[in-house]
Amino acid sequence: MRRYRVFVVIVAYLACCAFITIYSWAAKVALRPGHVIPLEKEPSRAEVKRMFARGEPDVWTGKDLETIGMPVGGIATGQLYLRGDGTLALWQIFNKHIFSGYGADNYRTYRPESPVDSGFAVVVSQDGKTLARPLDATFGTVEFQGEYPIGIVRYSNDEFPVKVASEVFSPFIPLNAKDSALPATLFHIAVENNSRKPVDVAVLGWLQNAVCFDSAVAVHANRRTQIVNEKGRTLIVHTAEKAPIPEGADAPREKIVLADFEGADYGDWKTTGEAFGTKPAAGTLQQQNPVSEFLGKGLVNTFLGGDGPHGTLTSPAFEVSRRFINFLIGGGSQQNQTCINLLIDGKVVRTAVGKDNEKLESYFWNVEELEGKSAQIQIVDDASGGWGHINIDQIELDDRPAKIQLGPLDTLPDFGSMTLAFAEKGAAAGAVQETLKAVAGQPWAEKLHAEENTAYPVNKNRSAVLAAPAVKLAAGEKRTFTFVLAWFFPNHEKGHEYANRFDGAPAVAHYVLDNHKRLAGDTKKWHETFYEDSTLPRWLLFRLHSTVCNLATGTCQWWKSGRFWAWEGVGCCNGTCTHVWNYAHAPARLFPELERSAREMQDFGEGYHEDSGLVGFRSDNNYAADGQCGTVLKAYREHLMSADSAFLKRNWPRIKMALEFSIKQDGNDDGLIENSQHNTYDINFEGPNTFVGSLYLAALRAGEEMAKEMGDAEFAKRCRGIFESGSKLSVERLWDGEYFFEVVDLAKHPKHQYEKGCLSDQLFGQGWAELLSLGYIYPPENVKTALESVWKYNWAPDIGPYNVEHKPERWFAREGEPGLFTCTWPKSTYLPDGVFYKNEIWTGIEYQVAGHMVAEGMVTEALTICDGIQKRYHPAKHNPYNEIECGDHYARALASWGVYTNLAGYEYHGPNAHLGFAPKITPEDFRAAFTAAEGWGSFSQRRKRDTQHQLIDLRWGSLALKSLAFEVPESFEKVKVNVVAGGSPLACQHTLNNGRLDITLNEKLILKEGQLLAVTIQR
Ligand SMILES: [Ca+2]
Ligand SMILES: [Ca+2]
Ligand SMILES: [Ca+2]
């Protein structure tokens, strides 16, 4: 909220009138043939009405349920999905690096898989008959409603006397990162007697022991399952433990060498493709790093002709006649692509991959349960990129496992514990057995075990079950059963923050239940404040908050050291990349402590270069121009979201040096960076441009503000001077009348530039400046016109025609769907070798642009862009919670929060205890949640002809306030201001300038949870 425009959207759907003005002249522009994006594309009146209407939450049923996978684990504790039918899926909680892909394959329609068996069933007895149904798609009618973080699945069936609503979530409390990062999921299973007669109801819950999930095939160990009664609760506790190597009476038989690859050819093994050639390799191949630790003189090595070729090598059938299959393995680490498989009846029953290392290492499969079967070994090279090959040697059948370097059992990444806890005392084992007997024959019940303490070989999958004791429900009566699923896998390479606080899954479950009222209560309070208690369109709230779930996926980690670390997308592109995270605003506003840790421990810690001020963009030695400037902006944002100036004081010298690094790139202090600028499009811009340039100018403004606060007047002045020059020169040299372009010598730099193109991100830094209340960095009229041009030239209601002309590298939108292109050349020659990803649609850029549009009053356009994302991610097509770019759950999508805060015209300076709002949508009646450094709550505003009422309702934590700012209509030329907190009037001063009302309280106020601050402005 920086300035106050004459034009304010008063009645939502009147906004579409604005289009008429914008587009009356549009048809006059001469467009390049091939730029097949319509200039006229205002949404219909009905569409506008729908988008602006408050609406109801989406409820999905039927086929739509299949794509849904809503993250329901704690932040940075792995990735556990709640599927549309209420079952759990994915289960990526075992510290394995799961690479979700570079994007090309991610955007597809599929049902998330569940490799771990778990579930709930409701068992009812009525009139001497026992009926049971599992809580899944087979129940009958199933409805899913999921507004992150809370998923609700409703089950009903006319043939079944009870209906069920299952509420599933992990505690999620803004500003309380630790309680939002619990490796646990809560289930509130509400069962209601739908019939006219009493009914006895029991709820069963089960969970497979998946400890040693990946290593089970390669370790000699036992899994153990116990049913534990403690603290008035019953828990299934799954662990694993060492097992003795079978010896003595059961003497090991002589080993059988299946293949040593010492022959002149592959013998009776059969090859396909080119990768294996006609004979084993003699060692290292051409252009390959040294291959070592194979046996004898030959091995399988598919680097024949480099990584490019594919192929398979398959053994003849053999009998599995020993307990283990031992072999040596090296090469690539890609699942299913650079692997060795054990096939039975042609189906893969064991698989192993290399570690992106040429050295061969011992590995083994435990195949005890397969003894006597006929099997084949198949070696696969189905990869062409880096590490697209596999090395194998010395395959043996043996009764002893090879000595491998997996390390002791309790250090394995997937070693730990899992639990399913019932919040009360469960039924006794005997009673559970009786229930199981009563439901025998149902497929889900067949595999369940109710033994109280049992150990079994680690490669056996067993599911244990517990039961809530049967209770009688009268007709219409309802009862809620509370369960907690918890996991504890501390052996992540960098450790888990959660492991600092707990010693096992049972401890996590007990913590959740000991604090159940507060954890569930605060989570629901946030959900209610954000979704229910708001005037914003419900679909929009869904969309803007859905991306926050990325924090609870494989994209994010919170290390034992306290450092927040992230990929770009799940398992893809490491190092909390500064330029991708440049877009992510949600974590900073919801969990500022996580972002502060990334600044201090990475950007100004491990990735910081003391000598130069360079911030390695993946915590390395490499410079990204946008990431470097963005780091300064993030530092200022983290300061604004702090309760005091301690963060800024600690980091200021390094923040200043980081900015000076960018000033050095500028070279002559004129405010334009002209040299080579590596950036988020994975290329370098080679001339002045406003993508990096606006970030640079915004960083200078942030530097100026921080320098002033730190009493460094000289540096503040220097920043100001460079900023003013850069702002002026950008307009002089980079403005084409409609938008900002790049000045570059294409003869010298023919590739990767955008030159006269219209880049959607051309005002990225201006959008940042808006979010940090830094004001205009270019003249307002240029900013508005450029944003309108981005809409005009880059927004396509149907991306099809343009993508037929100009194919994208990756499709993140399909024909018929809307989207905002990264870059187009509406008026000049298309650059086929221009900036990478030019023809792609990235939700992160769309949110970035939409957020900025909101700030500029282009609310209809902004909502249309967000609605486009909502349409593309409808569950009929895609998982609505998984916005994809380079990998699943891509971090850039966290830009959505910028749209949200701009809709409220939110401005905040924690250390100054300043809070302001200027709603950009329905300012006459506005209500929305907000967060501050130490508290969050609800802001509402009501505007009438002569009065404007503001209410700040603090729902959680505390809020220090010394000054406030609001926007009033132009007609309010002189006002009276009345501030009341906790029922008492507060003395204050105010100033009114151009519709901006600044209020300064005489005394600093600390608003406490549950307290209200009311401001009445009287004209
Ligand atoms: Ca060999
Ligand atoms: Ca290959
Ligand atoms: Ca310069």
> 374-381 and 318-319: which strand pairing?
antiparallel
* Cα(326) to centroid(ligand 1), Å: 13
Residue 819's DSSP bridge partners are: 796
Q: Which ligand is nearest to the CA of 300?
A: 1
Task: Identify the nearest ligand to the CA of 674 by its number.
Answer: 3
Alpha helices in 840-981 (DSSP H): 843-855, 859-872, 896-903
Average pLDDT of the segment spanning 714-741? 98
Question: Is the preceding omega at residue 309 within 30 degrees of 0, hence cis?
Answer: no
**Ligand located closest to 337 CA:** 2
Ligand 3 midpoint to CA 626 (Å)? 15
Which ligand has the nearest atom to the CA of 360? 1
CA of 280, nearest ligand number: 1
Token pair listed for 342: 């054990």
Q: Tell me if 434 sits within 8 A of 232, measured CB to CB.
A: no
Q: How far is the CA of 294 from the centre of ligand 1 (A)?
A: 6
Ligand 1 center to 253 CA (angstroms):
22
> What pLDDT is attached to residue 404?
67
Report residue 206 as tokens.
């089960």
Q: Determine the distance separating the centroid of ligand 3 and the alpha carbon of 122, expressed in angstroms.
A: 70
Ligand 2 centre distance from Cα of residue 395 (Å): 21
Contact yes or no for 793/824 (Cβ under 8 A): yes
Indicate the DSSP class of residue 644. S
Tokens matching residue 119: 């579930």
* Burial of residue 483 (number of CB atoms within 10 Å: 0-12, 13-18, 19+): buried
Check if the beta carbon of residue 914 is closer than 8 Å to that of residue 1000.
Answer: no
Calculate how far, in angstroms, residue 395's C-alpha sits from the geometric centre of ligand 1.
9
Number of C-alpha atoms within 13 angstroms, CB side, residue 795?
Answer: 27
Check: CB of residue 564 under 8 Å from CB of residue 576.
yes
Question: Rounded to an integer, what distance in angstroms lies between the CA atom of residue 351 and that of residue 118?
Answer: 24
Report yes or no on whether pTM surpasses 0.85: yes
**CA 625 to centroid of ligand 3, rounded, Å:** 13
pLDDT band at 246 (very low <50, low <70, confident <90, very high): low
Q: Which helix (H) or strand (E) holds 466?
A: strand 463-473
Mean local confidence (pLDDT), 232-237? 98
Residue 675: CB atoms within 10 Å: 14
Gap from CA of 672 to ligand 3 centroid (Å): 4
Query: Ligand 3 center to residue 673 CA distance, Å?
Result: 5
How far is 740 from 762, CA to CA, in rounded Å? 7
Shortest CA distance to 238 belongs to which of 23, 66, 454?
Answer: 454
- Sign of the CA dihedral 850, 851, 852, 855? positive
Whole-number Å distance, alpha carbon 381 to ligand 2 midpoint, is: 5
**Cα torsion angle, 323, 328, 333, 339, sign:** negative
pLDDT 10s digits, 479-514: 999 999 999 999 999 999 999 999 999 999 999 999
Expressed in angstroms and rounded, the spacing between residue 577 Cα and the centre of ligand 3 is 26
Tell me how far CA of residue 18 lies from CA of 52, 689, 764, 861, in angstroms.
15, 30, 24, 10
Give the model's pLDDT for residue 9: 38
CA distance 305 to 325: 30
Q: pLDDT category, 562, cuts 50, 70, 90?
A: very high
Q: What angle do CA 448, 450, 451 make, to 5 degrees?
A: 130
- What's the pLDDT score for residue 757? 98
CA distance 295 to 300: 11
Instruction: Compute the average pLDDT of residues 347-371.
Output: 92
Q: Of the bound ligands, which one is closest to the alpha carbon of residue 310?
A: 2
Q: Tokens representing 379?
A: 């070696």
pLDDT single digits (tens) 617-673: 999 999 999 999 999 999 999 999 999 999 999 999 999 999 999 999 999 999 999
Surrounding ion ligand 2 within 5 Å at CB are 275, 307, 381, 388-389
Length reported for the chain: 1019
**Ligand 3 centroid – CA 364 distance (Å):** 60
Residue 704 CA: distances (Å) to CA of 607, 648, 697, 713 = 24, 13, 10, 8
281 C-alpha to ligand 1 centroid (Å) = 9
Residues 6 or more apart from 785 whose CB is under 8 A from it?
738, 739
Q: Which ligand is nearest to the CA of 729?
A: 3
Judged by phi (left if over 0) then psi (alpha if -120 to 50, else beta), residue 495 lies in left
- Predicted pLDDT of residue 24: 39
Dist. CA 149 → ligand 3 center (Å): 46
Q: How close is the Cα of 308 to the center of ligand 2, in Å?
A: 5
Ligand nearest the Cα atom of residue 309: 2
Name residues with Cβ closer than 5 Å to ligand 3, which is an ion: 666-668, 670, 672
Q: Which tens digits make up the pLDDT trace of 799-837?
A: 999 999 999 999 999 999 999 999 999 999 999 999 999
Looking at the predicted structure, is the pLDDT value of residue 998 above 90? yes
Alpha-carbon distance values, 661 to 559, 625, 700, 720, 854 (Å): 29, 10, 12, 16, 32
Report phi then psi at 45, rounded to 5: -55, -40
Q: Give the SS3 label for residue 178.
A: helix
Q: Tell me, in angstroms, the distance from the centre of ligand 3 to residue 662's CA.
A: 10
Q: What is the pLDDT of residues 852-898, one digit of tens each?
A: 999 999 999 999 999 999 999 999 999 999 999 999 999 999 999 99
pLDDT (average), residues 526-553: 98
| Tens-place pLDDT, residues 156-190 | 999 999 999 999 999 999 999 999 999 999 999 99
Cβ atoms of 374 and 319 closer than 8 Å = yes
Give the pLDDT confidence score for residue 405 in this predicted structure. Answer: 60
Percent of the chain whose pLDDT exceeds 70: 96
Q: How far is the CA of 390 from the centre of ligand 1 (A)?
A: 14
Exposed, middle or buried, 307 (CB in 10 Å: 0-12/13-18/19+)? Answer: buried
**Least confident piece of the model among 16-25, 540-549, 993-1002:** 16-25
Q: How far apart are CA 112 and CA 68, in angstroms?
A: 8
674 Cα to the center of ligand 3, angstroms = 6
Ligand nearest to the CA of 697: 3
pLDDT of residue 27: 46
Distance 688 CA to ligand 3 centre (A): 8
Distance 291 CA to ligand 1 centre (A): 12
Residue 939 exposure: Cα atoms within 13 Å on the Cβ side: 23
What's residue 19's pLDDT?
39
Per-residue pLDDT at 359: 95
Cα distance between residue 50 and residue 53, in whole Å: 5
Instruction: Report how far ligand 1's centroid is from the alpha carbon of 380 (Å).
Output: 18
* 105 vs 730: which has the higher pLDDT: 730
Give the chain's mean pLDDT: 95
Distance 686 CA to ligand 3 centre (A): 12
- Give residue 716 CA to ligand 3 midpoint distance, Å: 19
CB 356 within 8 A of CB 419: no
Alpha helix positions (H), 352-448: 429-438, 443-446
Looking at the DSSP bridge assignments, the partners of residue 459 are none
Dihedral over Cα of 565, 569, 572, 573: its sign: negative
% of the chain exceeding 90 in pLDDT: 91
Residue 66 three-state SS: helix
| Dihedral pair phi/psi, residue 642, rounded to 5° | -100, 160
Could you say which ligand is closest to the alpha carbon of residue 384? 2
Compute CA distances 899 → 132, 568, 861, 904, whole Å. Answer: 46, 21, 12, 9
**Residue 392 Cα, ligand 2 centroid: separation in angstroms?**
14
CA–CA distance, 247 with 228 (Å, rounded to integer): 33
Give the pLDDT score at 15.
Answer: 41
Q: How many angstroms does the Cα of residue 308 sit away from the middle of ligand 1?
A: 24
CA 714–ligand 3 middle distance (angstroms): 20
Q: Which ligand is nearest to the CA of 312?
A: 2
**Ligand 2 centre from 332 Cα, in Å?**
9
Distance CA 82, CA 875 (A): 14
Instruction: Tell me the sheet residues that pair with 166.
Output: 153, 189
Are the C-beta atoms of residues 700 and 671 closer than 8 Å to each other?
yes
Gap from CA of 214 to ligand 1 centroid (Å)? 27
